[in-house]
Structures are given as structure tokens and as C-alpha cells.
Amino acid sequence: MARVLVKCPSCQNEWVYRHGKARSGLQHYRCRDCHHCFQLDYLYEANKPCVTDKITEMALNGMVWVYVIPDEYWESALPSSSPI
């Protein structure tokens, strides 16, 4: 049986134990020192810890995408103001 050295991503401690499984079927781990729960692998890219860090950084730095709607759209989409 092969052993894998698992370190806590929060405190870098090696005192880690298996702590059930995620809905995706991947193994959960928990640190005995800081009680942080984590996974080594993620099935979905959006669940990785680095993705939430990027989203937070973009929000704090004002890096947002704005979609500009051309004036021609508004002129054709709005009802004409004709008197009754």
C-alpha cells in the first residue's frame, strides 16, 4: 500500500486525517491542528481555492466586465411616444 504525504494548506501541518468524502466522491481531509477541512483534488475547476481568491482580488481591484449596449438597441426596443 502506498502512502501519500498530505499537508494542510492553511497551516502546513502533517497531522491530517481522512474526513469522509465529498458529493463528487473525492476524499475529504481534516487538519488535527487548525481543524481546516480540504480536498487534494477537485472535480470542478470552480471549486478550487485559488478561484475564489482570484474572484475576491478582481472585485477589490475593480476589475469587472461591463457590457455596453449600443444606443441603436434602445431606440428600436423602446416604444415610440406617440400621442393617443
Tell me the CA distances in angstroms from 6 to 14, 39, 48, 73, one per residue in order: 6, 10, 17, 56
Q: Where residue 80 falls among pLDDT bands split at 50, 70, 90? A: low
Q: Is the pLDDT of residue 17 over 80?
A: yes
Closest residue by Cα to residue 31 from 14, 45, 43, 44: 14
Q: Is the pLDDT of residue 83 over 70?
A: no
Give dist(CA 53, CA 59) in Å, integer.
10
Which secondary structure element, helix H or strand E, spans residue 30, and what is its range? Answer: strand 27-31
Q: Is the pLDDT of residue 82 over 80?
A: no
